Amino acid sequence: MRKDAFAHEADFLSLSIQIFVVLKNTVNEIFTSLEALVSHPKQKIVVVTHENPDGDAIGSAIGLGEVLKNVGHDVKIIVPNDYPAFLQWFSSELEILIYERKKNRCKTILQDAQVLFCLDFNEPKRTARMERAILEFSNQKVLIDHHPYPSDFCNLMISEPGYSSTAELVFDVVSRINLSGYVNHDAAEGLFTGIMTDTGCFSHNISRPNTFQVVAKLMEAGIDSEKIHAAVYHNFSAQRMQLLGHCLAEKMQVFPEYRAAVIWLSQKELQEYKFQPGDTEGFVNYPLSINNIVFSALFIEKKDYVKASFRSKGSFPVNEFSREHFSGGGHRNAAGGETKISLDESVEKFKQLLSDYKHQLLETTI
């Protein structure tokens, strides 16, 4: 199995953007290989995302899937588990299969596939129950992702942490291999959603003009940005809003001396508010709206572990914090992790760690 990779300056949309991929080949070689791969007619292609798929994962998968379908390929999207209702409105007619519900069918589809695209995750374990199937996939595997420190598990690996989202990167990759003409309305709708959600409605993770230039191109495909925003952010249940109120009123603790805050939720509380996948999406961001708070954490009790989410403003690197203490990682201002200890122990561990980071938090610039 040939491993193609590169670290070089590439020209995307008339901009010079550094692309990181692992090993030795040049920019032109990596994209020549990818262009040749997708140029073979009528291939069976599968697009997969990480567990608990968010807007960037679903949007990127739909965006790339639509482009490949428009080229003439047979495309299926497989996600490890269910995804939120506020991401189930897309115009695209591509089938999105949930692995944990249709495991046998998904395995058959993967066995028959000629190409596997891995989107928005940097290592196979991020797909949870799908990890083994991905590792055992013996045909061509392509990674397109914007998370740092990818493991080397694909034939072609395109990983650039400088991008706002995988969706933005997908658009540039598609453009680089001369397929931008296949970005129709449905593809643009997915890619716009990915960029919008991973940037918090264009409020963070944007370090260069390319993000807005890509959005402008997507708008030209005829998407309705107001409709998309409403579908994602104005589409919640009453129980979800009540759960948010409970979090902010009863389960948020603020530490002004550390410029930090934490929220935690038990399984009992989630059940009380009839929790559905995606209901806690964005909860970790709310404490950052408090004056002078730069670091926020959310701990949610799961069946066999505690899920941790971290957000920050400015220069405080939550990805390093998560990697060091909570077996996680991510981006400088947005990261996740998990623990095998109890919910109370996880929250207490977080509180105890704050004193170790006091100087860094107080010196954080925004």
DSSP state, residue 14: T
Task: Tell me the pLDDT tens digit for each residue of 95-118.
Answer: 999 999 999 999 999 999 999 999
Predicted local confidence at residue 209, as pLDDT? 96
Same domain flag for 211 and 298:
no
Same domain flag for 75 and 92:
yes
Average pLDDT over residues 35-46: 97
Predicted local confidence at residue 30, as pLDDT? 86
Long-range residue pairs from 331-335, CB within 8 A, at least 24 positions apart, any chain: 331/147, 331/148, 331/161, 331/205, 333/204, 333/205, 334/204, 334/205, 334/310, 335/309, 335/310
353 is a domain residue: yes
Predicted local confidence at residue 9, as pLDDT? 34
Between these two residues, 8 and 258, which has the higher pLDDT value? 258
For 22, other C-beta atoms within 10 Å of its C-beta total: 17
Task: Tell me the pLDDT tens digit for each residue of 215-261.
Answer: 999 999 999 999 999 999 999 999 999 999 999 999 999 999 999 99
Comparing CA positions, the residue from 151, 124, 145, 120 lying closest to residue 135 is 124
Same domain flag for 220 and 248:
no
2 is a domain residue: no
Same domain flag for 255 and 283:
yes
Among the residue ranges 45-54, 59-68, 204-213, 245-254, the one predicted with the least confidence is 204-213
Which one of 187, 206, 233 terminates a domain? 233
Comparing CA positions, the residue from 65, 198, 59, 78 lying closest to residue 128 is 78
Is the per-residue pLDDT at 6 higher than 50?
no
Same domain flag for 154 and 259:
no
Give pTM, 2 decimals.
0.90
Going through 64-150 in order, the beta strands assigned E by DSSP cover: 74-79, 96-98, 115-119, 140-145
Same domain flag for 126 and 182:
yes
Quote the number of domains for the chain.
2
Cβ atoms of 21 and 166 within 8 Å: the answer is: no
Task: Tell me the pLDDT tens digit for each residue of 114-134.
Answer: 999 999 999 999 999 999 999
Is the per-residue pLDDT at 23 higher than 80?
no
Rounded to whole angstroms, the Cα distance separating 74 from 83 reads 23
Tokens matching residue 132: 């083994």
What's the CATH code of the domain at 182? 3.90.1640.10
Measure CA of the first residue to CA of the last residue in the chain; give whole Å.
45
Predicted local confidence at residue 204, as pLDDT? 87
Average pLDDT over residues 62-74: 99
Task: Tell me the pLDDT tens digit for each residue of 160-183.
Answer: 999 999 999 999 999 999 999 999
Same domain flag for 215 and 268:
no
318 is a domain residue: yes
Mean per-residue pLDDT over the chain, rounded: 93
1 is a domain residue: no
Same domain flag for 253 and 213:
no
Burial (CB < 10 A; 0-12, 13-18, 19+), residue 333, is buried
Same domain flag for 305 and 159:
no
Is the per-residue pLDDT at 25 higher than 80?
no
Task: Tell me the pLDDT tens digit for each residue of 297-352.
Answer: 999 999 999 999 999 999 999 999 999 999 999 999 999 999 999 999 999 999 99
Is the per-residue pLDDT at 20 higher than 60?
no
Which one of 184, 214, 233 terminates a domain? 233
Q: Note down the domain range covering 339.
A: 241-362
Same domain flag for 267 and 348:
yes
Same domain flag for 182 and 261:
no
The proportion of the chain whose per-residue pLDDT surpasses 90, expressed as a percent, equals 90
Predicted local confidence at residue 205, as pLDDT? 86
